[in-house]
Amino acid sequence: DEDGVVIASGFGDLAGLTSRLGLSDEPGPADPALVAPVATAVRGYFAGDLAALDAVPVRQPGGPFARAAWEQLRELAPGEPVTYAELAERAGSPGAARAAGQACARNLVAPFVPCHRVVPAGGGVGDYAYGADVKRSLLEHERAARGTT
């Protein structure tokens, strides 16, 4: 936005993101001065500085539980995924694993709010708005950057 706060991000084409935002038209070009710090953070993250995205301000609409879950997502350690039930508990609603999944599904500012760090209790990587391969790749990147496998 005009203050440099990320209100939408993700992986894939702009049309897909526009659709997730419920917009009928693609947004116009962003001010390069506002985008530069965000781009620097993204480059840093993919170069191995896993904390680079943490300082980027974000804003998205959501109810109290979703906002609590998104705050907790930003606190999760890279490369150490939690389950949906664990996220629900951290967000103050033990037993609300399904609501935690919905908060992840409604996240409009991935990877700044790293919903890819939440996995099903039964194993695997689970669903991800940008595909399981992208989620798996992000988790592998974080484990590799931390030196864990």
* 115 belongs to the catalytic site: yes
Distance from first CA to last CA of the chain, Å, rounded?
Answer: 37
C-alpha span between 28 and 6 (Å, rounded): 15
Of the listed 6, 17, 100, 115, which one is catalytic? 115
Task: Catalogue the long-range contacts made by 46-50 (C-beta closer than 8 Å, 24 or more residues apart).
Answer: 46/141, 48/145, 50/78, 50/79, 50/142, 50/145, 50/146
147 burial level (CB within 10 Å; 0-12, 13-18, 19+):
exposed
Which residues are the active-site residues? 115
